[in-house]
Structure 1
Amino acid sequence: MSRSENSVAAAEPPHQGCASAQTLTPAAPPAPLTGLALEPRPCATRPAASFRRRFYPGVTAAQWNDWRWQVRNRVTNLTGLARFLRLSPSEERAFSAHSGKLPMGITPYYLSLMDPENPEDPLRRTMVPTWYEAVVSPGESNDPLGEEHDMAAPGLVHRYPDRVLFLATGFCSAYCRYCTRSRMVGGNGHGMARSKSDMERAIAYIEATPSVRDVLISGGDPLTMADDRLEWLLDRLRRIPHVEMLRIGTKTPAVLPQRITKDLVRRLKKYHPLFMSLHFTHPAELTPETAKACARLADAGIPLGSQTVLLAGVNDSVPVMRKLMQGLLQMRVRPYYLYQCDPIAGSGHFRTPVSRGLEMIQGLRGHTTGYAVPTFVIDAPGGGGKVALYPEAVIGRQGGDLLLKNYAGETYSYPDQGGEWGPAAC
């Protein structure tokens, strides 16, 4: 593969496709969709192969399975989308303006997993813009986590004492409508990979900061970068003596599993200890193609953890969440974080009450293996970092005993002589 061929994804900017919150003013906010999470349809009802034969009859299996073909043929506008889906009025209206802050981009593979008739299809809701994005609720902002405030160098967020977030690119092969970093992927930047000079400045900061032992490479999606560019970055970071571990945050195995090639994995495994945080949303993403991609990464010795955002009407029911978490374990992906949806501008129709997240954890804990129970966190607005939340388990004291509530709601006592623990300490 030539260098020019290998640079397709890094060089191709996303197209603008949805309306911005500043240009749209709906008459009333949408009705809440909480609790409508749907059970996934069996994969066999709409396999990618039959989708390809129907909509891409001239495309070979080899082309379809080439990640660069998938990126080049992303659906990015209303005309393209209407070819595959029967659009709802809310979806159509989202395209009435073409200067949207967050572009639309969906790989043909990921589109093949969506129900073409149902606008409430979970995967479709996460990728297809709707008019509801125009509703900006109180407390929402374009940078809710205050990352710009903690930028130590271009694209480098230093918030925690011993680790940094390296935003290597603003490009994704598919754009989640609740994206926390939508500010990076739209506008004049077009979501391109950072310049080499910017990366060098970020690397220089890490080299000059011995307290940094952990670097999380994210974006955008760093696995959309060309192999050579990604390996250059990994190599530079691995040469820094005090950097003990590298992590990559990506949604690629879910939306573009074809990207996890043997050559990519061969390169990645040279930089251990290397971890990956994979973004999964719904059990419908757990396809044979995704299982193959995760198997390649796991077989290369790369520990895989999942990060899931709790989304109203998408995955906010215990049966759906349990099926997702158990399915991930089958693919050797350890559930890591369940995130409360960040208050990004225009995301109110996705956010659930915090109590719903606690219900998810309560419905998992004790009802499935502990490995399948993620930590529920809120990334505190304004740069406070991740705050873990747990269902209340300590309910009081009785003499010298601590009173505990188990997964079934039953109360048990533990002899905790001299302990100071109480409900307020939870």
Structure 2
Amino acid sequence: MRNHTPVPTRAVQATAAASAVVVALTLTACSSPAAATPGIDDETVKVGTHQPLTGPAAAGFSSISAATSAYFEYVNAQGGIHGRTIEYVVKDDGYNPANTQSVVRELVQEDEVFAILNGLGTPTHSSVLDYLGQNGVPDLFVASGSTTWNQPEEYPSTFGFNADYVVEGAALAQYAADQKPGAVVCVLGQDDDFGETFLQGVELALGSDGVATYQTYSTSNEDVTAQIGAMKEAGCEINLLATINGFTAMALGTAAQMGWFPQWYASSSGGDYPTLVGFLGEDVGPKLLEGFVSANYLPNSPGGDWYELFQRINDEYNDGAPFDGNTVYGMSVGYLFAEALAKAGEDPTRETLVEAVESGELVGNGILPLTFGADDHAAYDGVGIAVVSGGVQDFVGATYRVDGESVSAVEAEPVPLENDGIPAP
């Protein structure tokens, strides 16, 4: 006779079901919050970025992400943050918004990153802003000074990193007015939000009639002869530049070919001395750049503690790549992310990461305090002025802060190096 398996009674079935629920709840309770969050587990946190490794902005900015990666390797070698190592996935968008959309979707949907970090460029990052917001991906420390990133109500998970272009334009213009009252001031800007908001800052300091001419360029046209010719014709004595590094060099080189040598003041996005010498050449670069003025908010003083730490990290973890302002920038971004991750807790989620940035407790490593808060997603409201003298680019003690509609001189408040540059939990 065939043996039959007994059919469970309803009571037994109910008991089994209840037990299964208890087991499931117990497993859920024992799981860390990170286990349910994309890009993070008990050992690793994965973040991603879009960068111009090729294209018109590559020569000026492609080294930034390598510097950030080198800093993360340094942190990982010291045990990571809360025991987790940081994996940085870098994808090339060629400074093309269409490419940016493709690679960011890959980062979010295929690589499943925890956050996007330091996506570079105003036109490029603007193309993915809504997508990241709709998908709840923390969008941290955008590599652009556009005021677009500082809209907490519309983009609650997006934060800028650069001092915004209004701040830089106002600071450079005020410095020009302080140094040479009555000089004829002109502006050359990129034909997008970069140039437009920079001009707003300049006019904040000088008034709406304070600019003799405003010329624009497109990154798709590597010729600024007409623009420089118009500025020379207007009698410009001080030219303020809202330009990326390649076009800064192009402006100076074109003017020199015309036999015209005005003073040049540049945004931090296009004012790195070693990078500009690389464009202009060792023979003429140092000569054309003597007295060159730029804005900055990071610890870019040769001999400073942060500067020396980043040099050591560069030598050990970045294959001894050339050390310049982009290196300091990339490692400063890495430090700020590591600090935010440490503040987000032992089991961070995307929500606690955003809360950590908004808490106002992040310090960073700038020459002025960070301004992040629940109602302010901009990193810095002021910059220092650096001048090239004898082949060395360094701060000259002039620092400006923008508060609403006013720009004023202030004292720098550089953040001291602590704990060998590893954020404390």
Same fold, TM-score > 0.5, yes or no: no
Higher Rg of the two aligned structures: 2
Give the TM-score band, short-chain normalised.
Answer: 0.3 to 0.5
TM-score by length of 1: 0.37
Structure number with higher helix proportion: 2
